[in-house]
Amino acid sequence: MSSREGGQGRGGAGHTARSLLPTPVNSRPPRLHIAVPLPRRINTTTHQNTTQHSNNHSTNNHNTRPTYNHTKNTTFRIQLRKINPNITTDKQKIFETTFKDLDVPLTKLTENNSGYYAITDEAAAVDKLTSSKTTDLFKKINLRPIIPPDIRAKRTIFIRQLHSSIGKLTPEEIAREIKTQQPWAKILEVTKIKNYTHVIKVPFSEISITPKILQNGLLMFNTKITPSQIELEKYTYI
């Protein structure tokens, strides 16, 4: 009797122990992957916020640069080189020439070893200071204007894919034909690139000429040079 009761006791105890253990389903590890997207969303949001902040910061920096560059580029400097280094031209004479004869009021005139730097804050004044008329005027006071390299590049084009019948002609013949067909295009010269017959370099006297040519092309020797064949010279600041 006591043995049965003892057995029942053990059975009861065993049953009680089994009932306290978790069921096979509950014994599986928690499905923690359900909670994983939550921190991912938080991290993604944080990353987006950080990226947005970075983009805003970059945009703000980008927006501040044009103001600085614009301020920096409002001054244009043209060198006036002495033709005869032993003759010095009076500054007041230079101011009179630029102001009265050329209608270009200079903001400053600084002296250097080879002559002077004429400084202006007007882009249109650059063409006036380096035109053929100006060259003749400055020559009378022993000075010669030197075109800055960036301005020279904006006045110069390359013509590519020329027909060999045109490319084999002399630079003088090509320049004369361009002047004949485009009287408004004040060409300075034609330069050939090595011994190539399919490409030439053509500088003009004014910046306002090249945009028109880039848009409409050129006529020469009974053919049309299309805008796709014309490229503006590039200048890289160092």
C-alpha closest to that of 157 among 113, 96, 107, 207: 207
Distance CA(98)–CA(145), nearest Å, equals 12
**pLDDT at 47 (0 to 100):** 46
Are the C-beta atoms of residues 114 and 161 closer than 8 Å to each other? no
Distance CA(164)–CA(56), nearest Å, equals 54
Region 43-55 average pLDDT: 46
Region 89-93 average pLDDT: 92
Q: Please write down the HEC assignment for all residues of 194-231.
A: CCCCCCEEEEECCCCHHHHHHHHCEEECCEEECHHHEE
**pLDDT at 28 (0 to 100):** 56
C-alpha closest to that of 194 among 219, 173, 167: 167
pLDDT band at 22 (very low <50, low <70, confident <90, very high): low
Q: Which residue has the higher pLDDT, 235 or 196?
A: 196
Highest mean pLDDT among 30-34, 41-45, 227-231: 227-231
